Each structure stands twice: as C-alpha cells, then as structure tokens.
C-alpha cells in the first residue's frame, strides 16, 4: 500500500513538471504577441479624464506642389506617433522582452487629420507597430493633404507667403485625443517653381496646433517667361521711333507689336495665377503694357497724318494744297499769241502755278518738321515714362506686402 502511494506521488510530481514545461514554451516573443492579440483591444484607451494623449515626437514635412490656379497647397507629412495603452503592458518577469511587434489591425491606432485640408488622408507607413512592456505603442503614419491656402500672389513672380497646415486628432473635446507635437522638420525645400524656406511649429491654443510653412516662388522661370517678353516688346516699340514718319513701315511695325502682345496674353491666360483677395499685380502690368502699345500706335498714326497733310481733321482736306496728279499741259504749240498782253497773262499764270507748288512744298516741309518735333517730344516722354514705370512696378512687386488672413477656417 505504501508503495502504491509513493507511485501516485511520483506521477503527480511528473504531471506538475510537464505543466511547467508547457508554460515555459509559451513564453516566446510570438506567444506574447498572440496573447496580446487575443485581448482584442480595438477601442481607444479611456482613462478617468476621458482624454487620451497622443505624442508626436517628430513630423517630416514636404511641399509637393503649389496650385496657384486653384490656390491650394499640396503637402505630405510623415509622423512618428506614440500613445499609452495600459491594458497592453506585461510583466517582464513572465515574458522577458522589452518590446513586441503587433499588426495594426489588431489594436487601436489614433487618427490624425489636417483641419484646413480639403482632402486629407492618413496611411500607415507599415502594417505592424511596436509595443513596449509598459504599454507604450510606437508607429509611423503618412498624411497626404491638399490645403486650401489663399497664397498671396500680389507680388507674382516675386511672391512669398506663409501657409498654415493645422494638425489635429479626430476629436479634441470630450473623450477625444490630444496631440502633443515636439518637432517639425523639412528635409527638401525645393519643389517645382516654389521653395519651402522653413517650417515652424506654432499654436493658437493648447488644442490648436499648426505647421507654418514659409513659401517663396523661384522668380527665374516666371521672370523669363512673363516679365521679360513684356519688357522687350515695349523696348522694341521705343526703338521703332527711329523709323521715319513718311511711309508705312513704322505704323505696320507698331500694329504687329500690338497683335503679337495680344496673342502673347492669350497664350499665357492658363499660366497666370488665379484671382484672390490679393490679385496678382502682373495682370495690371500686362494691361498697362497693352494700353501703352496701343497709345503709341495711335500717336504714330496721328503724327503720320499730320506730317502728310498738316491737319488732324480727317473729314475734309487741307486748304491751299496742290494735288499730286496736277499736270501742266504744254499749250504753246496750239495757242496762238495774238498780242503781248496775252503773252504776259500766260506767263503770270505759269508763275502763279510754280509759286503755288513752292508754297505747298514749303508747307509740307513745315508740317513734316513740326510732326518730327512732336514725334521726338513724345519719344522722350514715352521712353522716360516707360522706364520709370518698369522700375516702379518691379519695386512694388518685390517689396509690397498684401496681408491675407489664413486662419478663417478656425471660428
């Protein structure tokens, strides 16, 4: 009987040893992950104050494009996030691991949005996340946002402005989440025609944080394609005053310049930025250039008329002029001179005719000289005024600042 009892004790101890060995096998890192997955914690951690803190140690900001036609800023943000879920922690005495990897669809993950984004999507940078033994979860997300930013384009093509990108969680009131952003960095500041000079983390209140993106357009391409052609066309119009008033070369050249500039504006209609509260002054600049070209063409036409006829009245001819097609008929062969009186009358008529031609020639010379003097005066006024206008316009484009309220989305 005593031997039988001893055998049962041995079997009991062996069973305990077997159970202990089975438990030791389930202490691997993967078994730890399966144990945490079986909890099925898919809801937000909710503490007594019902507000969960989401830490964002680092955000990498990048400007993808600036849509000047629709006034939108297209951005990409890659953020590292951390949050605490006390129910996902474990005892390191049972599982001797400091961290473990879990699939993102098996646990709750916070949602980060762009408040002033017309389109804002958050994608996970990986299908897995890291869980620490104290219940801290670490993950990385990518946010693509299209922000409605009324960029100050008054100074275009020397435009510069700052656009806010407001970042928040799905809800910052009640049982929501509170973002705590630590650092923002922009690795590459050059994209297309726009350059991101700097990014700054600022806030209007504890729950209203935003990234202030300082933008500046690269003026080389717009200056060459927009401003330079207008300057060269007006310069060619000024040089055209070297052509003589007589003939139609100057007038034809000026008409060609006006038509060329009109076609140039039609081609650039889709390239010019859209209207906003600070409308681009380059539109006004092109309008003034077109007015100057047309005014110069009209003045040239009027001076050509003045040099030819000596009159600005188009409805009637000038007085005292001899038509160009006047023919002097040689009537000596058919006229019989009967007396010295008739011979004297004929000579008097010839003298009067020649004097009229001389007077008309002198009058045309005076009209041409007067028109040339007016042409020179207009040329100097036009050249000096055009130069002063271009200098003043470039100064305004570079230095004037039009103020835009970028925070109308917060009310």
The tens digit of pLDDT for each residue in 75-89 reads 999 999 999 988 898
CATH of the domain at 134: 2.70.170.10
- Whole-Å CA distances, 138 to 114, 181, 223, 297: 21, 14, 47, 71
The residue out of 171, 198, 217 marking a domain boundary is: 217
Residue 183 inside a domain? The answer is yes
Residue 87 inside a domain? The answer is yes
Residue 318, pLDDT score? 46
The DSSP H or E segment spanning 305 is: helix 281-309
Same domain, 88 and 203: yes
**CA gap 404, 385 in Å, rounded:** 32
Same domain, 391 and 307: yes
Same domain, 306 and 171: no
Residue 15, pLDDT score? 52
Residue 339, pLDDT score? 61
Same domain, 106 and 243: no
Residue 79, pLDDT score? 93
Residue 162, pLDDT score? 87
Same domain, 284 and 274: yes
Residue 57 inside a domain? The answer is yes
Confidence of residue 24 (pLDDT cuts 50, 70, 90): very low
**CA gap 111, 179 in Å, rounded:** 10
pLDDT digits (tens, 9 = 90+) for 132-169: 989 999 999 999 999 988 888 888 888 888 889 988 88
% residues pLDDT > 70 (the chain) = 80
Residue 330 inside a domain? The answer is no
The residue out of 184, 217, 250 marking a domain boundary is: 217
Residue 31 inside a domain? The answer is no
Does residue 310 surpass a pLDDT of 80?
no
Residue 263, pLDDT score? 87
Between 69 and 385, the more confident residue is 385
Same domain, 175 and 264: no
Full domain range(s) for residue 110? 40-217
Total domains in the chain come to 2
- Tell me which range, 14-18, 288-292, 341-345, is most confidently predicted by mean pLDDT: 288-292
The residue out of 155, 185, 217 marking a domain boundary is: 217
pTM, two decimals, is 0.70
Residue 25 inside a domain? The answer is no
Residue 305 corresponds to which tokens in the numbers above?
């008329």
Residue 286 corresponds to which tokens in the numbers above?
């092109």
**CA gap 45, 52 in Å, rounded:** 7
Residue 189, pLDDT score? 67
User: For helices 281-309 and 340-399, what crossing angle results, to 10°?
Assistant: 170
Residue 227, pLDDT score? 84
Residue 408: exposure state from Cβ atoms within 10 A (0-12, 13-18, ≥19):
exposed
Between 16 and 359, the more confident residue is 359
**110 three-state secondary structure:** coil
Same domain, 83 and 60: yes
Confidence of residue 405 (pLDDT cuts 50, 70, 90): confident
Q: Residue 174: how many CA atoms within 13 Å on its side-chain side?
A: 4
pLDDT digits (tens, 9 = 90+) for 352-374: 777 677 666 777 777 778 888 88
Same domain, 132 and 272: no
pLDDT digits (tens, 9 = 90+) for 182-201: 899 988 766 677 888 889 88
Residue 154 inside a domain? The answer is yes
Residue 173, pLDDT score? 65
**CA gap 255, 119 in Å, rounded:** 49
Which of 22-26, 298-302, 306-310, 388-392 is predicted with the least confidence, judged by mean pLDDT?
Answer: 22-26
Query: What does the mean pLDDT of the chain come to?
Result: 80
pLDDT digits (tens, 9 = 90+) for 105-129: 999 988 888 988 888 899 998 899 9
Same domain, 185 and 77: yes
**CA gap 410, 300 in Å, rounded:** 57
Same domain, 91 and 181: yes
Residue 147: name the closest of 19, 218, 272, 61 by CA: 61
User: For helices 249-267 and 281-309, what crossing angle results, to 10°?
Assistant: 160
Same domain, 165 and 227: no
Between 315 and 219, the more confident residue is 219
**63 three-state secondary structure:** strand
Residue 139: name the closest of 153, 126, 150, 121 by CA: 126
Residue 391 inside a domain? The answer is yes
Provide the phi-psi class of 135: left if phi over 0, else alpha when psi is between -120 and 50, else beta: left
Q: Mean pLDDT across the stretch 40-59?
A: 84
Q: Mean pLDDT across the stretch 307-335?
A: 52
CATH of the domain at 370: 1.20.58.390
Same domain, 240 and 205: no
């Amino acid at each position: 009987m005593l031997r039988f009892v001893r055998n049962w004790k041995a079997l009991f101890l062996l069973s305990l040893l077997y159970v202990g060995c089975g438990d030791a096998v389930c202490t691997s890192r993967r078994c730890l992950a399966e144990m945490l997955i079986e909890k099925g914690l898919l809801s937000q951690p909710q503490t007594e104050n019902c507000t969960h803190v989401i830490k964002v140690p680092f955000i990498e900001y990048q400007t993808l494009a600036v849509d000047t036609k629709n006034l939108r800023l297209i951005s990409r943000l890659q953020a590292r996030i951390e949050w605490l879920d006390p129910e996902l922690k474990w005892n390191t005495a049972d599982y001797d691991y400091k961290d473990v990897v879990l699939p993102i669809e098996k646990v709750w993950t916070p949602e980060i949005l762009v408040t002033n984004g017309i389109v804002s999507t958050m994608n996970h940078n990986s299908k897995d996340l890291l869980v620490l033994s104290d219940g801290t979860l670490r993950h990385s997300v990518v946010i693509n946002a299209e922000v409605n930013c009324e960029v100050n384009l008054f100074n275009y093509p020397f435009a510069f402005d700052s656009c806010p990108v407001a970042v928040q969680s799905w809800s910052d009131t009640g049982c929501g989440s509170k973002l705590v952003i630590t650092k923002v960095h922009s690795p590459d500041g050059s994209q297309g025609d726009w350059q991101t000079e700097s990014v700054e983390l600022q806030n209007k209140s504890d729950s209203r944080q935003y990234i202030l993106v300082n933008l500046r357009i690269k003026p080389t391409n717009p200056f060459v394609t927009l401003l330079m052609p207008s300057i060269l066309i007006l310069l060619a119009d000024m040089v055209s005053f070297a052509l003589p008033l007589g003939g139609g070369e100057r007038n034809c050249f000026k008409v060609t310049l006006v038509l060329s500039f009109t076609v140039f504006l039609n081609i650039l209609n889709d390239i010019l930025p859209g209207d906003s509260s600070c409308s681009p002054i380059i539109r006004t600049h092109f309008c003034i250039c077109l007015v100057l070209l047309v005014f110069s063409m009209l003045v040239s036409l009027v001076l050509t008329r003045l040099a030819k006829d000596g009159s600005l009245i188009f409805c009637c001819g000038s007085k005292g002029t001899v038509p160009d097609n006047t023919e002097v008929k040689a009537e000596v062969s058919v006229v019989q001179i009967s007396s010295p009186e008739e011979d004297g009358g004929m000579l008097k008529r010839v003298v009067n005719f020649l004097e009229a031609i001389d007077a008309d020639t002198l009058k045309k010379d005076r009209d041409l000289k007067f028109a040339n003097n007016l042409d020179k005066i207009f040329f100097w006024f036009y050249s000096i005024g055009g130069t002063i206008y271009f200098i003043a316009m470039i100064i305004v484009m570079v230095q004037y600042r039009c103020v835009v309220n970028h925070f109308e989305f917060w009310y």
